[in-house]
A and B are shown apart, each in its own frame.
Chain A
Amino acid sequence: DSGVTQTPKHLITATGQRVTLRCSPRSGDLSVYWYQQSLDQGLQFLIQYYNGEERAKGNILERFSAQQFPDLHSELNLSSLELGDSALYFCASSAGQGWADTQYFGPGTRLTVL
């Protein structure tokens, strides 16, 4: 158990809908990272937040947005969902903001868009 929690574990929704994925980092960690793993692609970095501020942006679609709240939990919002958004979404956390910090991954949220 990494100490990172993600909810929900599974989510099934329809195209065009909007969903919110939630992540709670390990106690004391200030950075949260979001990743997407779809069937036809490897792990893709989406976005990083550090202490409430956006720190780095990867291959995140405009339909997706994220935020980190004062209690350091983070939410990833996915809107106007398409079939291709079906994937496993991981959240990870690290103590600092540096990319040389060890990242601890949560169990993931599996999103299925029908």
Chain B
Amino acid sequence: ILNVEQSPQSLHVQEGDSTNFTCSFPSSNFYALHWYRWETAKSPEALFVMTLNGDEKKKGRISATLNTKEGYSYLYIKGSQPEDSATYLCAFLPDSGTYKYIFGTGTRLKVLA
């Protein structure tokens, strides 16, 4: 059974702090990794799609890196703002031919003003 783990489960930071979370996945098979931002009572919003080892993607104050050889991806938020409060979810697609997305349980971020 393939497992995708995200850490920490939840996080409280002060406005202006920078923070990062981890998504860990099996390193033996890799096709793609997606990051989503999911605000309460809304639907998941795509942040990044990462496909190559060493990929680095950036959108405003949020960036992500990918290491497929060791099986992890980091999501960084620079200068957190209260509007960054959300659950950050990663979804892993193994190159197993089944095309089954495997979601992590998310990191719940709360940015305190």
Binding site for B on A (CB under 8 A): 2, 42-45, 48, 55-56, 58-59, 90, 92, 99-108
Contacts and interface: CB of A to CB of B under 8 A. Distances in A.
16 contacts: A42-B89, A42-B104, A43-B44, A43-B103, A56-B98, A58-B101, A90-B44, A92-B44, A99-B31, A99-B32, A100-B32, A100-B49, A103-B34, A104-B46, A105-B46, A108-B43
Q: Which of B91, B98, B105 has the most CB of A within 10 A?
A: B91
A106 B44 CA distance: 8
Looking at chain A's contact residues, is the secondary structure mostly helix, strand, loop, or mixed? loop
Contacts of A103: 34, 46
Contacts of B31: 99-100
Nearest to A100: B32
A105 B46 CA distance: 8
B77 interface: no
A42 B45 CA distance: 16
B34 A107 contact: no
Contact of A42 (B32, B49, B106): B106
Contacts of B45: 2, 105
B100 interface: yes
Nearest to A99: B93
A58 B103 CA distance: 12
B5 to A, nearest CB: 12
Nearest to B36: A105
Contacts of B91: 43
B51 interface: yes
B68 to A, nearest CB: 13
Interface string B43-71: 11110010100000000000000000000
Contacts of A102: 46, 49
A43 B89 contact: yes
A101 B101 CA distance: 13
Contacts of B34: 103
A45 B100 contact: yes
Given A42-B89, A45-B103, A105-B46, 10 more contacts: A2-B43, A42-B103, A42-B105, A42-B106, A55-B99, A56-B99, A100-B32, A100-B49, A102-B49, A105-B45
